[in-house]
Amino acid sequence: MLQVLQDRYRDRGFRVLGFPCNDFASEEPDDLSTIQAFCAREYSATYELFDKIGIRPGKGREVHPLYRWLTSRGHDAGPVSWNFEKFLIDREGNLAGRWPPDIQPNHPAVIAGVEAALKHHVAGDRAHC
């Protein structure tokens, strides 16, 4: 469903960025190329996937700075609960939304957040989720 969201809003500057993580019940043990192939095959994903990063402290690793920033902002501040938690960054680099894993990308709250972030579209600008 993330691909559908990107396809729907790509022309308005929206991009989905995926950050695989193996911090939750070892659900993502594979390397990046294997993850990319799986996502392309199973979900027709063309959005950008980055190398795996740490989201939860422990086992000798620290929380990646991106997630330290994401989880310290707004009224929803706090640790990531599980894989597929979604964050929306607006064009100015502000955290504009956060949704737990059980909220699907096509949920009305997510769509409303994306629409609001893209409301003042300027060519070349981007919003990321």
Q: What is the pLDDT averaged over residues 100-104?
A: 95
Q: What is the pLDDT averaged over residues 86-112?
A: 94
Query: Which residues span the domain enclosing 58?
Result: 2-128
Q: How far is CA 125 from CA 37, 97, 119, in A?
A: 29, 18, 12
pTM for this entry: 0.85
**What tens digit of pLDDT does each residue of 32-88 get?**
999 999 999 999 999 999 999 988 877 667 889 999 999 998 888 898 989 889 999
Number of domains observed in the structure of the chain: 1
Query: What are the residues whose beta carbons fall under 8 Å from the beta carbon of 2, sequence distance 6 or more?
Result: 16, 18, 43, 45, 47, 105, 129
CA angle 31, 32, 37 (to 5 degrees): 105
107-118 burial, b at 16+ Cβ within 10 Å, e below that, comes to: eeebeebbeebb
CATH number of the structural domain spanning residue 107: 3.40.30.10
